[in-house]
Structure 1
Amino acid sequence: MHSPLLSVLIPAKDEAGNLPSLLDEISLALADIDHEVIVVDDASTDGTWEFLTRRAAEDDRLRPLRHAASAGQSTSVWQAAWAARGEWLATLDGDGQNDPADLPQAFERARRGDVTLVAGHRTNRRDDWLKRVSSKVANRVRAALLKDATPDTGCGLKVIRRSAFLSLPYFDHMHRFLPALIRAQGGVCVSVPVNHRPRGAGRSHYGLNNRLWVGLVDMVGVMWLRRRSRLPAAINVQTPTTAEPASAGEESLP
């Protein structure tokens, strides 16, 4: 079974209008990087799964997965991470607003070895006013309470070593708090500016209720997790010493 260097994880719900061009852009951006793409269809009803199965028959780097019932973005990413074969993971939203052209730079930054997570920072948001305002409020509150030193945790473009991601506690909406969870375990996060684009087709599945208010409730849970964490914990390992050979006339113990 082939193990690529990078696995690109994409949660998608009713994104049949955006996935064709998004997958084309990923192939172009990562042409020089050994990679696979795992798209999790979160119980779409618009033909997303039909498109993915057709595309996978022509592209062996694409591995589509599907939920029979919608399970959400975090569950989609978490299950894709467990199914991934790459040493590194990159995440992108399925709506095409993240630019795959930013992946090589983010991946190269992650591979320097001095950080655990590279998070995209959308410096020029291309969303409507409601999403911009709710994200700004949530980011300010989160930064004040969690002190995760990350200006834009909601950006879908992130790069992380697979082993580090799989060590994190799983819960619904965890994808919004990856920097705080990483830092709670002694990891290092860095943000890099990335492009942001208007949604090409379909509509957003997030609004004020399931973006801002739910995020504030989840933040309390993450604060509890951070408070209860004792990682990293220093540990000493006893190094076995080589026994001296028995002197003449002595019998070695078994």
Structure 2
Amino acid sequence: MPLLPDEPAATIIGTGERAGSPEITVVVPCYREADNVRPLVSALEIALAGRDWEVIFVDDNSPDGTIEVIRQLAWANWRVRGISRIGRRGLSSAVIEGALASSARFIAVMDGDLQHDQTRLGTMVDVLAQDRCDIVIGSRHVEGGDNAGLANAWRHALSNGGIRLAQMMLPVHVGDPMSGFFALRRDLFVRTAPCLSGQGFKILMDLILSAPEKVRVEEIPCTFHPRAAGESKLDAVVLLQFVDLILEKLFRGWLPLRFIGFATVGITGVGVNLIVMMLLRFVGMDFGPAQVISTLIAITSNFWLDNKLVYSDRRLRGMGLLGGFLVFLLVSAVGAWANIGIVQLFRAKGEGLGQASAVGAIIGVVWNYAVSSTLIWKTR
């Protein structure tokens, strides 16, 4: 396969040591995939036989010892590399770190669960080398593709819902924008990386929307295999984070993805507050106690959803969860007090109740978001 100008081939020097970078880096974000690492490396050795490649596993501190399996393989196989991340999680950010750790000509991305059809990697790289496109996607939704490996009807529904949402946003037609199996030139990734959100589990759409120029996309049919070991990460959280990504791109980065999610959770808290209040009043509780209880339940609901969804990559556990909740209560109380004061101030200046309430709510959610991100879910 011809190399680009000024891109020297990697060589093996006389001592048996390797010199230079491989032509292909396969980036594999993983969490709790200890049982799949060895089979995946073996599968890649067959699929990429005769090619110059490496695989970089990016492990989010898996409790099952995934990184130890990777290190054992790396001792005996120079093609295997591992990045162990402590205190941060998320597929998209893992892909970014893995890709930026490569000096290869091409970057391929695939999951670590053996569900992606690694036998298609060679074809994907050849398509890029022929300059037929900028991004080549292993697609389940073109002729010859198959997504039967999705575990059940619920996951099929989540995947199909995400596809329909993405297709409404993308500047180019993509049959499988939810695919986690794709390849592109490293120089395009490097130029796009500063504009990526780095959040969530579906980075392909982020890449297409964030690229400095309109990208050419080609899809090749792939079979999505059933998972051999471990547990699927596709759930409602993934789809919600995908919706957040779409909203962030709609606002062209003016509103951070995490802030959009935080504000959305705050809106659900208002609904929880009203519903609990009506139920308590219905059973005869006085307004004062009902207001206190409904407010506490709404704050608890907000905290749980923020920890589960908005800050999933910084999720609190154990005693940190209890401490974070107590701080969240204090932050929310201060935000509510400030909200009331701002409404009264605007009312005193003759503003309408609706306008005053809107300003108070906006300032309140900005306060809660800023302090929560700094004190509770800070980067560790």
TM bin (shorter chain): 0.7 to 0.9
CA distance in 2, matches of 1:91, 1:180: 14
Contact 1:181 1:226 in 2 (8 A): no
**1:191 corresponds to which of 219, 223, 227:** 219
Among candidates 85, 97, 106, match of residue 124 of structure 2 = 106
Alignment-mate amino acid for residue 173 of structure 2: A
2:136 alignment partner in structure 1: 118
Matched with 1:218 is 245
Would the aligned equivalents of 1:182 and 1:189 in 2 still touch at CA under 8 Å?
Answer: no
**Partner secondary structure for residue 35 of structure 2:** coil
TM-score normalized by structure 2?
0.57
Distance 1:184 1:164, change over 3 A: closer
Report the Cα distance in structure 2 between the residues aligned to 1:139 and 1:73, rounded to whole angstroms.
18
- Tell me if structure 1 keeps the 8 A contact 2:196–2:206: no
Task: Using the aligned pairs only, state the percent identity.
Answer: 25
**Residue 156 of structure 1 aligns with which residue?**
180
Cα distance in 2, alignment partners of residues 131 and 203 from structure 1 = 13
TM-score, length of structure 1 as denominator length = 0.84
Cα distance in structure 2, aligned partners of 1:191 and 1:30 = 19
Q: Superposition pairs for residues 1-254 of structure 1, below 5 Å? A: 1-122=19-140, 123-125=145-147, 126-127=149-150, 128-168=152-192, 169-171=195-197, 172-173=199-200, 175-178=203-206, 180-181=208-209, 185-208=213-236, 210-225=237-252
Aligned residues: 226
Rg: which structure is higher? 2
Relative to structure 2, which stretch is displaced further, 53-62 or 114-123? Answer: 114-123
1:198-231 CA-to-partner distances (Å, cap 9, x unmatched) read 01111012311x122221121121233399xxxx
Query: Unaligned 5+ residue runs, structure 2?
Result: 1-18, 255-380
CA RMSD of aligned residues (A): 1.8
Kept after mapping to 1: 8 A contact 2:196/2:207: no
1:215 and 1:124 mapped to 2: Cα distance? Answer: 22
Mapped to 2, the partners of 1:185 and 1:129 lie a distance apart of 37
Counterparts in 2 of 1:181 and 1:215: CA distance versus 1, 3 Å: same
Q: Provide the secondary structure at the position in 1 that maps to 2:251.
A: helix
| Superposed displacement of residue 183, structure 1 | 6.1
Letter aligned with residue 108 of structure 1:
D
For residue 182 of structure 1, report the CA deviation from its aligned partner: 5.8
Supply the AA of the counterpart residue of 1:89.
I
Deviations 1:65-108 (A, max 9, x none): 10112421011110011101201101110111002111001111
Counterpart amino acid of residue 102 in structure 1: R
> Deviation per CA, 1:32-72, whole angstroms, max 9, x where unpaired?
11011100111101010110110000101111110112421
| Alpha-carbon separation, structure 1, partners of 2:98 and 2:243 | 26
Amino acid at match of 2:179: C
What is the CA-CA distance between 1:184 and the residue it aligns to?
A: 6.1
The structure in which a higher percent of residues are helix is 2
**1:114 to partner: Cα distance:** 3.0
**What is the aligned partner in structure 2 of residue 247 from structure 1?**
none
Q: Give, in angstroms, the shift of residue 180 of structure 1.
A: 2.9
More strand by share: 1
**Cα deviations by residue, 1:141-181 (Å, 9 ceiling, x for unpaired):** 21023343111122221110001011111211361414632
Runs of 5+ consecutive residues of structure 1 not aligned to the other structure: 228-254
